[in-house]
Structures are given as C-alpha cells and as structure tokens.
Amino acid sequence: MNNLLYLYIIGGTLVGVTCLYLLKQYINGGVCKIRKDMTGKVILITGGNAGIGAEAAKKLGEMGADIIIGCRDLYKAQQILDQIKSQSRANQKLVMLKLDLTDLRDIDTFVQQFKALNIKHIDILINNAGIMAPKEYKISKQGFELQFGTNHIGHFYLTQKLLPFLRNSQNPRLVNVSSLAHKSSDGFDLNDLDCKRFSNSSLWSTRYTMKAYSYSKLCNILHAMEFSKKYGIPAYSLHPGVVRTELFNEIYGGWRKIIYFLIYPFWWFFTKSPEQGAQTTLYLSLEDQENLQPGGYYKDCSQATPLFANEQLATQLWDKSIQMLREKQFDISQQ
C-alpha cells in the first residue's frame, strides 16, 4: 500500500512539474529563430540601454548591424555597446546619443547629432522607449501628458524627422513597440489625448494613469498603420508580452515594493525576461518583408488583431498629431 502511495505521489509530482514547465514555455512566448548577416544595416533604437531594447540591440549588433542607441542614460547604453563590441567586426558603428523623448527640442538636437555622424540612411527604426503609469499626472516639456507625449508624440516627431534617412534605405522598416494594454482603450478621445479629464481625479494613480498608458499604446499601433499607408514604408507594431523590466518601477515604488517582494515567484512565473520580450521586435526586424503585413500588429512572432484600431481612426490620429505639434510650433506637415 505504501509503495502504491509513493508511486501516486511521484507520478503526480512528475505530471505537475511537466504541466508547470509547459505553461511556463507558453508564457515565455514565441522565439525568433531568424539569423542573418546584418553587416551594413543601420538600426536606430530608442531606449536601447535597458530591457527589451537592450536585448534587441545586442542581438542585432551581434549579427553585424550598425547600432545607434538613443536614450537618456548614456552610462547604461555604453555598457550595452561594450557587450556588442566584444563580438563585433572591426568597422562596425556602435553609437549612443542622448535622447529625451519628453522634450521635442531635445529630439531636434538628437537628429542634428545623428546627421553629424554622416550616416546616410536608416534601415530599421525601432521606437522602443516608453514610460508607464506615473503615480501623478505629469506633463512633458511641451505640455503633453507624459505618457502620450513620450510614447506617441515623441516617437511620432522623431520618426518624421528621420524620414529622409528611412527613404534613403533600399528596404526600410519601422517597428513600434506597443502593448496588449491598448485593449483597455475604451473611451479613446481624439479631443482629449492628454487625458486632462482625469488629471485631477483621486483615482489617477490607481486607475487613470493606466488608462492614459493604454491610449498611448493604441497610438503606437495607429501610427504604424498610417505611416505604412502614407509613405509606402513597411511599419509594424507589437506587444512584447508582460516583461520584467524597469518599466514597472513606477508601479512597484514605495510600499508596493513589499508586495512585489512577496509575490515575486508568481511574478517571475507569469512574466517574460527581457530577452524573451525582445523576440517579436527581432522577428519584425529580421523577417522578410513579403512575409509581414504592412501596418500589422504582432505578438509572440505572429500577427494578431488589435482592438479599437481602424484605418479611419489612424488617419484622424495622424492629422491630430500634426495639428498638436503645429500648435507647439513644431511643424512637420511637409515631410
């Protein structure tokens, strides 16, 4: 009887461990298995100093691509470039430039510094940087709600300023890192993209900050859709998964760190590492363009269907973004 009980326990344990292993593999998501010689390709990635941006930069750099990282923390960016350099070819360009997407003037400075590098084209622009869920309603340098101003307006303006370099490439592409959070964008209002109607709410830190984040991530999807249609340059957006990165610092600040410590084993199990989170970015950077849908939204290295996104809304957001920039004296309508 005891032997039979032991067999049941061992068998049940093996089944349980196998199920947990398979579930974890499913959570870890798709894997980009494409490897290419990227020598001569120029890849500019925002926020390539940490998280999934850093992992994408390392993998693409290891394949021989010239890597330009735009970010605020140049110390961390240098560490990433040093890792790439240890396995790089002799004439590979590895450059970091300061970029603050919360300030459009700083983006102008970044573009001027990029021009000074005498690089004639950009093959892949990866709009990866972002912020999520500040506990207080904050605004960017030009007065946009911080998440909208960084995640959408900053990248929208940067992309337009770099458009001539994309056009100089034989096979350019744009990759926007969005999020599954866009599916919480019910109530998306083109006349209140700054979420000012929530700015004084006592529920901002617990509810509306994530609502503003979801709106900015929907904008990333709509931007890719309209960019592809407008310029004929393939653009894609993606959900990287729920990834253990610095993006969650705001959420797990203060007393929440205690809860984070207590639930970390569960958090680890149900989330991805930065390397795993970078897989769809790599897929959209490396897959042959004929196998991808221009303006498409992807997750786990496969095309998916976004919520709330349609061509009419994409066009309306584009026009609204141009108008908002023009009101701040940043006119890019002729590009």
Dihedral in degrees, nearest 10, Cα atoms 215, 104, 61, 115: 150
126: β partners = 45, 175
70: β partners = 46, 97
In the annotation, is 8 catalytic? no
Among residues 75, 57, 74, the alpha carbon closest in space to that of 66 is found at 57
The CA-CA-CA angle for residues 31, 32, 37, to 5°, reads 155
In the set 157, 213, 215, 298, the catalytic residue is 213
Query: For residue 125, which phi and psi values (nearest 5 degrees)?
Result: -105, 115
Asked if 36 and 63 count as a contact pair (C-beta separation under 8 A), the reply is yes
The CA-CA-CA angle for residues 101, 178, 226, to 5°, reads 85
Asked if 289 and 296 count as a contact pair (C-beta separation under 8 A), the reply is no
Asked if 229 and 295 count as a contact pair (C-beta separation under 8 A), the reply is yes
> Cα(149)–Cα(58) distance, rounded to whole angstroms?
27
Helix crossing, 209-231 with 311-327: angle to 10°?
100
Distances, alpha carbon 136 to alpha carbons 75, 151, 209, 212, 325, in Å:
27, 17, 8, 12, 24
Q: Which residues are catalytic?
A: 213
